[in-house]
């Protein structure tokens, strides 16, 4: 029997940037990903298109899968010859039951690899501006689980030097037993005035921090509605927070931005500014079901004066088919190439071609104006022009219709199709219901309309409280026609400009 391999990967405490490069590589290799509730969903965007996702998380005390079921599925998938990524929050060996899972793999003779993760033990206090050690304040730290039944034990902290003010104590999973923990510490000699902080959802947009003395922190946590997941930090290092606080000062801290297309580098500036990205492409792309129309256009490629590429995808799908038919760039001699937008021009350069024409504005309206006012003025007869316009199956035909009115022949073969992915849709719906999405971005009418179809009846209520950002006027019209308000729109229709507009909007807010 062909046995696969299991990677046990620590995904970090929440911020997607805290996973290791080796962890990302394991996600990319995996045929099957078994992931927990606390995993940042953006990490799943590194997976290959045909990867299988299995949710094994626990939320609100409800287990999606028992530990025995998780163990069984890891063994089953590996024995099917698959590469499995077991993606766990924080570090899998710090109160993560990773050791138990690896023991089962060992007993079953399955190859495994451990990829440590950044633990919440150090990362969450760091994002709160609290170092767990400091040369002048604390020379050691102790980590304790706080979710055991502590009330039945007479002495629970004998291993902790509770009277040693130079030591930091960190309790994980402590909310339920917070009052018991703090009372026991005081009973065992910890000074009631010892500084403490409880941190909920550390490293995430919802990060919330409450500070106070150890004698009052349980009351303060209840008063401020601190719920799991949270950690408790006790020691004089907490007093450094006033100086070292940094995460909450970022301009987009507290924002979770919905990206409804494939993630590109331009969006990452939002993360740099403190936002978390929820990547949920509402459109996926595939070749046309029938290539006849496109193949006919490629066969007579020298007849065209212009090829107008409306998007990077049009470039990529067109040339993939063009080259597969045995053609090469020499066949484009004498044909002028027009790219709508910088990203489209960049895609052409990837094939070794520079765009001859790039409109000043990146929209269909600007393209129509440019051809009417600039191109036709230098062309003796419009009837001698032929334009090839590779498009998607749902593309608007405004450009084609306007050119034909001017007497210009336009061939607009379907070059690629749009399809609706639904993976991770449940988590998106939950985030919207709970108000965890603050900004939603759309780069085309179809990206917006597909999201509405996925959300169905709940859509209007969910999106009413979300700031909607669009890339340009065409997308704005689709949003407004559906009864929603556009809050953010850049002057230029590019992702980079939309991102900059979002940052400016957040700073003004």
Q: Is pLDDT above 80 for 336?
A: yes
> What are the structure tokens assigned to 448, written together?
């917006």
> What are the structure tokens assigned to 401, written together?
């219709």
Q: What is the pLDDT of residues 296-333, one digit of tens each?
A: 999 999 999 899 998 899 999 999 999 999 999 899 99
- Determine the Cα–Cα distance for residues 27 and 85; give it in Å rounded to an integer: 6
Mean pLDDT of the chain: 88
What integer pLDDT is reported at residue 10 of this predicted model?
97
* pLDDT class of 381 with cuts at 50, 70, 90: low
What integer pLDDT is reported at residue 320 of this predicted model?
95
Q: Which residue has the higher pLDDT, 361 or 440?
A: 440
- Closest by CA to 214, choosing from 171, 237, 185, is 185
* pLDDT class of 61 with cuts at 50, 70, 90: low
Once rounded to an integer, what is the mean pLDDT over residues 50-63?
A: 75
Q: Which residue has the higher pLDDT, 49 or 138?
A: 138
What integer pLDDT is reported at residue 382 of this predicted model?
47
Angle (CA) 25-31-36 rounded to 5° is 75
Q: Is pLDDT above 80 for 156?
A: no
Once rounded to an integer, what is the mean pLDDT over residues 53-63?
A: 71
Q: Which of 3, 58, 372, 420 is catalytic?
A: 58
Q: Which helix (H) or strand (E) holds 221?
A: helix 217-223
23-32, 60-69, 86-95, 229-238: range with lowest mean pLDDT: 60-69
SS (H, E, C) 73-138: HHHHHHHCCCEEEEEECECCCCCCCHHHHHHHHHHCCCEEEEECCCCHHHHHHHHCCCCCCECCCE
36 is catalytic: yes
- Report the side by side order of strands in the sheet with 195-200: 140-145, 167-172, 230-234, 195-200, 208-213
Q: Is pLDDT above 70 for 154?
A: no
Q: Would you say 75 and 108 are in contact if contact means Cβ atoms under 8 Å apart?
A: yes
- Determine the Cα–Cα distance for residues 472 and 206; give it in Å rounded to an integer: 30
Once rounded to an integer, what is the mean pLDDT over residues 497-507?
A: 96
Q: Which residue has the higher pLDDT, 422 or 269?
A: 269
496 is catalytic: no
Q: Which residue has the higher pLDDT, 315 or 402?
A: 315
What integer pLDDT is reported at residue 122 of this predicted model?
96
Once rounded to an integer, what is the mean pLDDT over residues 7-21?
A: 96
Q: What is the pLDDT of residues 261-278, one digit of tens each?
A: 888 899 999 999 999 999
Q: Would you say 214 and 182 are in contact if contact means Cβ atoms under 8 Å apart?
A: yes
Q: Which helix (H) or strand (E) holds 347?
A: helix 342-350
* pLDDT class of 419 with cuts at 50, 70, 90: confident
Q: Is pLDDT above 60 for 1?
A: no
Residue that is written with structure tokens 């001699």 in the block: 333
What are the CA-CA distances from residue 282 to residues 146, 278, 453, 476 (Å)? 41, 12, 10, 17
Q: Which of 36, 91, 411, 497 is catalytic?
A: 36
Q: What is the pLDDT of residues 224-235, one digit of tens each?
A: 999 999 999 999
Q: Which of 169, 173, 370, 403 is catalytic?
A: 173
What integer pLDDT is reported at residue 325 of this predicted model?
94
* pLDDT class of 166 with cuts at 50, 70, 90: confident
What integer pLDDT is reported at residue 2 of this predicted model?
66
* pLDDT class of 389 with cuts at 50, 70, 90: very high
370 is catalytic: no
Once rounded to an integer, what is the mean pLDDT over residues 445-464?
A: 83
Residue that is written with structure tokens 């766990």 in the block: 88
Q: Give the strand pairing for 58-59 and 62-63.
A: antiparallel
Q: Is 310 left (phi over 0), alpha (psi -120 to 50) or beta?
A: alpha
Q: Which residue has the higher pLDDT, 493 or 152?
A: 493
> What are the structure tokens assigned to 423, written together?
């993976």
Which class for 150: exposed (0-12), middle (13-18), buried (19 or more C-beta within 10 A)?
A: middle
């Amino acid at each position: 029997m062909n046995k696969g391999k299991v990677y046990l990967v620590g995904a970090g405490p929440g911020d997607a940037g805290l996973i290791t490069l080796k962890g990302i590589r394991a996600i990319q290799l995996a045929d099957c990903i078994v992931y927990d509730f606390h995993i940042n969903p953006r990490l799943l965007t590194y997976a290959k298109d045909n990867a299988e996702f299995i949710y094994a998380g626990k939320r609100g005390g409800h287990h999606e899968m028992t530990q025995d079921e998780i163990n069984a599925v890891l063994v089953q998938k590996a024995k099917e010859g698959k590469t499995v990524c077991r993606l766990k929050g924080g570090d899998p060996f710090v109160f993560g039951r990773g050791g138990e899972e690896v023991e089962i793999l060992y007993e079953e003779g399955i190859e495994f690899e451990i990829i440590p993760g950044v633990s919440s033990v150090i990362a969450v206090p760091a994002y709160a501006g609290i170092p767990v050690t400091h040369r002048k304040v604390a020379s050691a730290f102790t980590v304790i689980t706080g979710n055991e039944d502590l009330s039945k034990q007479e002495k629970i902290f004998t291993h902790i030097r509770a009277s040693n003010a130079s030591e930091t104590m960190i309790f994980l999973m402590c909310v339920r037993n917070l009052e018991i923990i703090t009372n026991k510490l005081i009973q065992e000699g910890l000074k009631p005035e010892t500084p403490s902080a409880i941190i909920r959802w550390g490293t995430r947009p919802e990060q919330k921090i409450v500070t106070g003395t150890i004698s009052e922190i349980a009351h303060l946590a209840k008063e401020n509605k601190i719920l799991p997941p949270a950690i408790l930090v006790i020691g004089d290092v907490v007093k450094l927070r006033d100086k070292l606080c940094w995460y909450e000062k970022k301009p987009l801290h507290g924002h979770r931005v919905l990206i409804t297309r494939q993630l590109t580098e331009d969006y990452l500036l939002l993360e740099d500014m403190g936002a978390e990205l929820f990547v949920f492409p509402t459109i996926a792309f595939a070749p046309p079901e029938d290539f006849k129309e496109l193949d006919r256009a490629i066969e007579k490629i020298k007849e065209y004066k212009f090829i107008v590429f409306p998007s990077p995808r049009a470039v990529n799908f067109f040339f993939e088919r063009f080259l597969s038919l045995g053609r090469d760039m020499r066949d484009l001699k004498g044909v002028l190439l027009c790219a709508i937008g910088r990203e489209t021009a960049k895609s052409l350069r990837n094939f070794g071609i520079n765009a001859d024409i790039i409109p000043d504005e990146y929209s269909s309206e600007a393209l129509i104006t440019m051809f009417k006012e600039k191109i036709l003025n230098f062309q003796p007869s419009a009837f001698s022009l032929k334009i090839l316009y590779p498009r998607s199956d749902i593309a608007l035909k405004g450009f084609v219709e306007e050119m034909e009115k001017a007497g210009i022949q336009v061939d607009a073969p379907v070059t690629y199709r749009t399809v609706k992915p639904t993976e991770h849709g449940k988590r998106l719906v939950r985030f919207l219901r709970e108000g965890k999405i603050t900004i939603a971005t759309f780069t085309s009418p179809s990206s917006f309309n597909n999201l509405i179809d996925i959300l169905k009846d709940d859509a209007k209520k969910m999106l009413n409280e979300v700031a909607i950002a669009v890339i340009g006027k065409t997308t704005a019209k689709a949003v407004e026609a559906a009864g929603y308000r556009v809050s953010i729109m850049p002057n230029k229709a590019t992702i980079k400009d939309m991102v900059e507009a979002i940052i400016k909007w957040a700073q003004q807010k």
